[in-house]
Structure 1
Amino acid sequence: MWYAEAVRWAAGSGVAYRATADGNVTVMSPEDGVAFGTVAKFDTTVPVEKLENISSIEVLKEKLAPYVEKNPNIFYMLKATGTFGKMHIRSCYACEKPYPTLSEASSHQKEFQYQNVSGSVIAVYCPPYVEGINLLGWHFHFLSQDKTTGGHILGLQADSLSLQLNPILDWKLLPENPEFASRDLCEDLSAKTAAVEGNAKH
């Protein structure tokens, strides 16, 4: 069984969490799979910086831009912690064979909105030259402080966030298994992927 929204935050503890379609978060077992993952070791000893007046996810991206502009050609991972006046997230049902496409799986996504919830944004930034391999720019997930809810972020608002940012200077690409080796990867899925990752269902 493969989970569409597996978060996520294991810093120091070795614990990974998954967001299920009911909006809840549970601890993943070693047997659980994910359809796609970006994994990195996160250095929690880096300095903490403050971000203020984050009225939307677009504003958050704007406030992160100066950090990325120093070197836009590498990956970044971040953790931004605080209390969110608004948090809008989504998650999808677990998938089994024959596996649906991302757009098919997301057509049944569930969305959840929370107010005054404490937790962390866990995000990855991918540089432009990996287009087609990973999603370009920032990809944001949420995990609540009490580890009970989380998912892919569609919208947010916060007065103040404590930010830690890690540059990622090396990376290993692609799985090593027969399914990947025999998969036809020539189809251009960029438009479908952008629609799924960037838009809420109305």
Structure 2
Amino acid sequence: MNKNNCVLTVLILLIMSIGMSGCVDEQADGDAFSATGINRDLLFQTSTIDALLEGVYDGDITFEEMKEHGDFGIGTFNGLDGEMIAIDGDVYQIRADGIAYTVNDSMMTPFAAVTYFDVDEDIVINESMSQQQLEEYLVSLMPSKNIIYAFRIDGTFDHMKTRSVPKQNKPYPRLVEVAKNQPTFEFNDTEGTVIGFWLPEYIDGINVPGYHFHFITEDRTAGGHVLEFDLRNANVQIDQTYDFMLELPRNDDFSSVDLTDNKQDELKQVEK
């Protein structure tokens, strides 16, 4: 074999080796990774719920950056300026007037969690249920209480009650104080979408353990943080999520806040 043939043989073997190695890596990683190498089975979060409870309402991540980590999620805006809902890749801001506004990519968030929503289970519900009944039913379907679940509930609601929060000015009050004067909104016989997450108890202090839902109407014009609802019928989609990534703000407010106290009681007041 001459020198040129030897070089050609080595190159072919090297290419085959790289290709086989890539196949092994892809199989080892599982179906969670897209063709571009993005982990679609990951919940990405900025800051912590305890920091938000303490009044850390300014973050350092834009919604353009958030969209790199997911097309589905909930959160809020700098200055606590309303409730955030990301659905089908679009982000909406439901302000203190209850109206849903489209979000500019340059806007920033102090607290949000997003994922790429991929359906693992699809359920049709053709009966009336209260929020509590639906939540209990969904818990009964969970194969494990130790992983994260993302929910999308498209349906008709006999009654839906939501809230938002008005934009705050510095010095920022604690969230439990803001929630005492939160505007609420009620919808009757309306169609729309509830999205959010169920998180394990060990996430306490980082995010909201249990359910945390936001709502937006079918025409994407109104919504808010869910307080209660009665469901007539719905299509429920569930995404089981196994990975979690937390990115902390790089600012003085977060660096100096005291996060040592247990804030479960305050969280329950704020959520309900």
TM-score (norm 2): 0.67
SS in 1 for 2:87: coil
Shift in Å, 1:136: 0.9
Amino acid at match of 1:3: L
Contact 1:83–1:118 (Cα < 8 Å) also in 2: yes
Contact 1:7–1:143 (Cα < 8 Å) also in 2: no
Shift in Å, 1:138: 0.6
Contact 1:4–1:35 (Cα < 8 Å) also in 2: no
Kindly report which structure 2 residues correspond to 1:93-132, keeping only aligned pairs within 5 A, or say none: 93-132=166-205
Partner of 1:59: 133
SS in 2 for 1:48: strand
TM-score (norm 1): 0.88
Amino acid at match of 2:217: S
Contact 2:92–2:101 (Cα < 8 Å) also in 1: yes
* 1: CA distance, partners of 2:92 / 2:180: 23
Give the alignment partner of residue 6 of structure 1, picking from 73, 76, 83. Answer: 83
1:26-84 alpha-carbon deviations (Å, 9 max, x no partner): 011223333421211111x545311243432111111111222x111011111000111
Q: How many residues align?
A: 194
Superposition RMSD in Å: 1.7
Give the alignment partner of residue 258 of structure 2, picking from 167, 184, 200. Answer: 184
Q: Which has the larger displacement, 78-87 or 24-33?
A: 24-33
Partner of 1:87: 160
**Relative to 1, partners in 2 of residues 1:10 and 1:147: Cα closer, same or farther, differing over 3 Å?**
same
* 2: CA distance, partners of 1:46 / 1:182: 41
- Percent identity reads 30
**Relative to 1, partners in 2 of residues 1:117 and 1:28: Cα closer, same or farther, differing over 3 Å?**
same
Gaps of 5+ in 2: 1-77
SS in 2 for 1:38: strand
Contact 1:123–1:140 (Cα < 8 Å) also in 2: yes
**Residue 75 (1) aligns with residue 148 (2):** yes
Gaps of 5+ in 1: none
Shift in Å, 1:102: 1.2
Partner of 2:229: 156
Give the alignment partner of residue 42 of structure 1, picking from 93, 114, 117. Answer: 117
**Relative to 1, partners in 2 of residues 1:5 and 1:73: Cα closer, same or farther, differing over 3 Å?**
farther
Shift in Å, 1:18: 1.1
**Relative to 1, partners in 2 of residues 1:47 and 1:129: Cα closer, same or farther, differing over 3 Å?**
closer
Contact 2:157–2:191 (Cα < 8 Å) also in 1: yes
**Relative to 1, partners in 2 of residues 1:95 and 1:50: Cα closer, same or farther, differing over 3 Å?**
same
More helix by share: 2
Partner of 1:197: 271
* 1: CA distance, partners of 2:128 / 2:211: 15
* 1: CA distance, partners of 2:262 / 2:131: 27
Larger Rg: 2
